[in-house]
Chain A
Amino acid sequence: MADHGQRNRPDPDKLLELTARETRGKLTVFLGAAPGVGKTYAMLLRARRLKEDGEDIVIGIAETHGRAETAKLLDGLEVVPRRRVTYRDRALEEFDIDAAIARKPKTLVVDELAHTNVPGSRHPKRYQDIEELLWQGIDVWTAMNVQHLESLSDLVTSITGVTVREIVPDTVLKRADEVLLVDLPPAELIERLKEGKVYLPGNAERAAEGFFKPANLTALRELALRRTADRVDDQMIDLLRQSAIEGPWATGERLLVCVGPDSLSDKVVRTASRLASGLNARWLVVSLTQTSDAGAETSKRIDELLDLAERLGAETRRVIAQDFVEEIFRIARRENVTQIVVGRPKSRRFANPFRRSLPDEIIKRFTDIGVHIVTGEEQGGAYKPPSMRKRSRRELAAAIAIPVITTGMTTLLGLGVSDIVHTQNLSMLFLVAVILSAMISGRLSAVIAAGLSFVFYNFFFLEPLHDLSIAKPHQLFSLVIFLAVALMIGDLAGRLRDQVARSRNQAKNTQALYEFSRKLSGTARLDDVLFSTATQLHSTFGTGVTILLPGDGDLSTQTAWPPDLTLDGTDMTAVRWAFEKNERAGHDTATLPLIDWQFLPILTSHGVAGVLGLFMQDRPPLTENEDRMLIAILDQTAIAIDRAQLVRENAKTTALQESEKLHTALFSSLSHDLRTPLASITGAVTTLRQLGDRIKPDGRDDLLLSIEEEAGRLTRFVANLFDMTRIEAGTLKVKNVPIDAAEVIVSSIERMKKLKPEIAIEISIAPDLPAVNGDPSLLGQVLFNLLDNAAKYAGDGPIAIYARQEDTEVAISVTDQGKGIPPKDLDKIFDKFYRRVKGDGRAAGTGLGLSIARGFVESMGGTIKAESPAIRKRGTRFIVRLPRANPTGEAA
């Protein structure tokens, strides 16, 4: 039952995707099998119909290829003017994306999805333009031929023999909201072609002859039909999921695709993609390597492969393992894989007949999982082993110059010492030259040095001299031995050098990363984190760095190093792109590739936190290693940003908790201080009413007196609360008049005596006490509160009030002889609702008196402080200091 209910609930992820799509524009793709089937015509025809229905539909770009019947359809349709660009002295017209966005129609027609933009455009590819339009909320209609789909490109090449250059990722079509198939039987298409109704770009005409063969067209048509049918399937499944209709829609198939750096892997990935879309299965592509420090070429190759897989809609994972089969087995079990796809090269030149290939091992290991084997030939051209990597011209020059120099020097030295050293031993000197070359510039130099040594030694030192021929057979033998030894030593030394260089480089990177993360771990403030990151990246890559964070609606530079770097409007567009799309933008990327900056999103666990910019104008593109370093640093930064934000939130939470505590204190104080007098009054009144006649007269009087006293207590408490509220709300009206402090002191003592007649108060007021500036009633309340407080804690000793002049101020002190206050609590006693514990363990007072006293004194421009112990290790003294009234005030 529960399971049933669960299944009937709409899949929340699917609904989310749907709402995301609702704010996005809708993409409609007119899919054709080949050029000439009439996609543009069909699209425009439909656009016209919609326009007639009053829809806001605009043509962004439509290629009529000069055909009248198509051009006629454009009549009466609004067309966005094209952008004129000059590229290599040729005037070209391009689709104007900015004008289209500015016009912002409901629906925009943008023909030729697979088009490649002129260099310098915002995006290199038109499908990226369209992505941006959709993102702006514009519905887009576009057209493409099935051959441009990335996952089909190799298949199309093998069917038609034509290499497809303009490629559209499968995800574009997969994400399209609607795919319309524009179909034309091959025979009719060929007929149209013959009539000249199909436009082909000039350079394609020759290819067309091979291309437009019935067999090819039928195959392409089948591909297009099948792709559209797949789409219908997907839509059906989406619909079922969104509306929670039960059905056998989940195939539950999951493919595991194993790839390596070999050239066959491309084919493996493409084949797996087709298989996955046919099975409607999720697929996971895993790259397998044996060590983490695979050469730069290998890891670049793997990156490309996994990128391709992701574009085709796969999940990807990099795996480093010693035992591939075991690792594949583990992943397959964990991910509930139902089928495995793996490649097997057809001919392996150095295949070991005793070792089984990976596919064989897999087949042996898995008994319950289907294994697909993709066969093919390794194409030597596609993948170069690391040793064949290209050298820069400078490197090459050094590799040749150094062995020439070392062997030349050795020859000169040898000629100098040939009289005293046996010719045989001179060969040792040449070995030194070979090793030196190897150590200075690597293995190629060592090989060259070995060759040169062989020649020079023979030419200058072996009989017959100055001739490359050899007289004695044993010399030939030693010469061959020498060459072999030189080559071996040179190779070893060169290898050693490469390894040392590599590990030194790695150690440097690791050290830098370690120091960076240590630096970051010590910083909790966001600003510090960003600054550390910027300076670290600046020193690592030797280029300008900027970090932008969102705030107040837009991203703004938080840190830049050097600090005077600025970004222009185009840069900011790339920044926003990187931030909102969570992908790289700017220099050397798919978006705005010609600007000087490259921007990378900083991805934290809560989404994109900001954008990092690297100034790339003056430096070569990032190498594989640098890129990895950059990403490692960004990851560290993201963690630190996360942490900084957590710290900030934590502080906020703590503050909230504090205020909550205060509220609890307020409530407990209010409930106790209000309830006790109320309980007394209620009790006394009901007693009088119900039992009055049974109580003696003096008992009745006492009850009445208690009512009066408790009512007074309530009144004072409520007055205190009002005072506190006025202080806090800032609505306290403070008079600023000269007041005679002595008078106020006496009147507040009288008020106190009325409340507590038994209290003993000593007064000492300086006879010439000047007037102070302030509010007499506020000062009176302050002194009363201080006296009240003293009375609570004084014990039996008398309370002393002193008033003295101190420079421009008048100091009034109230001192009790109670137990005093521990120094750590002295700061807190003025806090609202802070109450010390009375001698009997019970909290005393309302916790407001001193707080109000401070509020009043400060509002009169004075200060108040507490000292403890006051006299002989006992007591507390409160000192109020108020400014003297000015002479004019005195005169008045």
Chain B
Amino acid sequence: MNLLLYLIFGAIIIGILLYIFPICNPVVISISQLSICLAAIHLFITVRVQGILYLSIGNWPFGKGVSLYVDHLSSALILLTSCLFILLFIYEWEHISGQPLFMFLLFVLQGLLFALFVSHDLFNIFVLMEVSTMLVTILIVFLKNPTAYYDGLIYLLTNILGMSFFLLGIGYIYKLYGVFDLTLLKIAVAQGGSSPSMIMAYALLMTGISFKVGVLPVFIWLPRAHVSLGAPSVVSAAISGIYINVGFLFFMKLQDIFTPLVPTAPLFFYLGLLTSVAGSLLALAQNDIKRLLAYSTVSQLGFILIGLTLPHDAAYYGSIYHIFSHSVFKVLLFLISGILAEQYGTRNILQIKGVLRRMPLLGVCTIAGILGITGAPFFNGSIGKYMISKSTNSALFEWTLYLITFLTILYLSKFAMILFGNHPRKEISRTKNTALLILATLCIIGGLQAPVFMDILFGYSVHIDALSYSLKSILYILSVLIGFVLYRKKIQHSRILKAIREIDIPFNLVAFMLVFLFITILSASWFIAS
């Protein structure tokens, strides 16, 4: 059990030591990261063998103190986070020595993520979310670019606003049931039955969590945070690939508690669908390489939300698997975009050309990432998509999912244009290549060995039907061809996309949309519960 505390506080204390003493060098960092990763593996195995772990810090009675709770999913998320952080540090290898402050912030972010994954009472979740919001804001403005302060302020204020809704929801819960702990809350909600106050509490909590997830009207903060000019690409990768998982974890936990009384799955299904389509269209419109990737995150998380709301085990686990795949390929693509922006001196996707010729290895990794995210056969993205689409028999639903995949292919055709063209050869550092190669390999292994990973990570045995999987593969190849041609012929110079690109939403409108989302959730759950 002390291992869990080591994971959380160890990371933070090592970060502080790195900042205070002049020991910030690659060897120290890699040793400490390896120890954290070993602890994560040990915790993962312990949870597999012994089942769910529960720890109350300070020996308070159950439900009073800070309680930590580790189940299969959170231990798997901790393992993923620690592995990805090692890769991020390998990527940063050459720049480690000079930046103790940056290393300190990354270590603290890692510790906070671990703490968020295992915390199991509402107030603790609120505090950790607020602290991580502040930390991420500091990371967004880290390079002190004047325009980045705007992104930082928008990110900070919108997230504080969302979390205020969450805190008021906690107040309602405490007034109604007198508990903070999620285990006790589940029992209390089941006993208490449905009441207007309970629906109000649910709507307030879900507004905060939906905001963190980034559903349709309120996702504007997300690309701002991910592509800020003031954030190093490691930060973009960490926020877009790893930090986003927190929202999903709490979304699942809260839905698990309230679904028996307020089954709002259809509402979030449609929100996820709209988010996914809107995210793809916005991604297609962008010319900035990081902005394109950030909107693709929006589209992918909409897709994950769709899977989480379907009443089927395969869809649920497919969705969780897609969370893991998404972390891997999004970290990969963001790291690549960082190198590209550095090498070409621009983030405009139309000016970056000939990546395959210039940096062959990086080009191959880019292809692996693109195939992963579009769900190509034998790549990790395809497994989640396959499992979600096979969970229902409705033809309409299948075609909707296919539309999302097709839009994904369209905007990644735009991304893939950077690969082609002529350019003199240039080498990039070996450590960066290593990190990218490992991530690209993970994309392929995650697809080829999906049943093994599924079994290890979630204890769920999946059967992939060869016939329907290969049918999907043929459909995929066809749609890649169509998408590529369609993009070259029609979309590339579209005026509508230019108009979409120019849209910039002021802060007041974000607040208005948040209230709109709150009213939507409140009225929908009222309607469903009565």
Q: Do A and B come from one complex?
A: no
